[in-house]
Amino acid sequence: MILRRVYTFEASHQLPRHPGRCKRLHGHSYRFVVELEGPIEPYQGMVMDFGDLDEIVGEKVLSQLDHYHINDKIENPTAEWIAVWIWNALASDVRGLKSIELFEVEGASVLYRGEPPARWGRELNRDRMRDGIRVFLEGLFESEDRARHPGLAEMIARTPERVAEAYFADLASGYGKDPLDHLEPVPCPGAHGPVILDEIHFTSLCGHHLLPYTGTVRVGYEPAQHHVGIGGIARAIDVLARRLTLQEQLTASIADALATALSARAVVVRVAAEHQCLA
């Protein structure tokens, strides 16, 4: 059985990284739906008494958000993050909590089901990488070439494993890692002014030609309430660079990782690189 209960509150907020008018202080009349699922309790004939749910929501959510400035509770109070905040506030007290649906404006909502945050990392299929290199070499050297040059057969036999290992352990090792693991935010409630890091060196692989390109990254951010270690930023950049990338994609992914980890007021990333491919 599924129960749904609607609640409303009014609050102000501002989105410091929004390019438009939402960057200014303004308010909304919010509406959110608490959905829970469970069996009907035989004696009372209910999944949950709505009075009990109202009491929990009133204490955990409405008393914290109604007629308040949400930025005091949530660093980047988009509708998405407000829904996550409400879920986290209720999850330990509302058994069978299924979803939170939040309406910031009429006709549009966000739905959160308590999913774990999306991870950036994934494992590589080393066996398929090795097999693909073998097919590539067999296409590069026809059977008659291998017959005339016995050393080619040995190279084709051993090179695929070496190449797969090079990509697996080094050149494309970023696919098996999450840059957010290196961006551990440290509270700094009194921070003012920008933080700028210059000349962070990287090597990446062109996604069009599989040829390496190298360069430097310059990062700047204006903290809201958190900093992150300089070494952590360099390691996160290394994770994102050790993949098949285009320079503009690498730039955007670095900015996304910093924005996700820090909820900074602003993030700027500049990537300068030299490419070995011609186009």
Same domain, 169 and 183: no
pLDDT given for residue 121 in this prediction: 58
Position 119 in a domain: no
* Cα distance between residue 246 and residue 73, in whole Å: 37
Same domain, 76 and 99: yes
Same domain, 24 and 61: yes
Q: CA triplet 81, 86, 92: central angle to 5 degrees?
A: 130
Same domain, 192 and 169: no
Position 120 in a domain: no
pLDDT given for residue 149 in this prediction: 76
- How many domains does the chain contain in total? 3
Same domain, 37 and 100: yes
CB 115 within 8 A of CB 98: no
Position 118 in a domain: no
Same domain, 215 and 267: yes
pLDDT given for residue 185 in this prediction: 85
Q: Which domain holds residue 81?
A: 2-112
Same domain, 134 and 57: no
Position 198 in a domain: yes
Closest Cα partner for 235 from 215, 256, 257? 257
Which residues neighbour 268 within 8 Å (Cβ) at sequence distance 6 or greater?
219, 220, 221, 255
Same domain, 152 and 202: no
Q: Facing residues of 274 across strands?
A: 214
Q: From first to last of its 279 residues, what are the pLDDT tens digits of the chain? A: 999 999 999 999 998 777 778 888 999 999 999 999 988 888 778 989 999 999 999 999 999 999 999 998 888 899 999 999 999 899 889 988 999 999 999 889 999 998 655 555 566 788 899 999 989 988 888 777 767 777 777 777 889 999 999 999 899 999 878 898 899 888 887 777 899 999 999 999 999 999 999 999 999 998 877 888 889 999 999 999 999 999 999 999 999 888 888 878 889 999 999 998 865
Same domain, 166 and 184: no
Q: Global pTM?
A: 0.58
CATH code at 88? 3.30.479.10
Position 197 in a domain: yes
Decide: helix, strand or coil at residue 45. coil
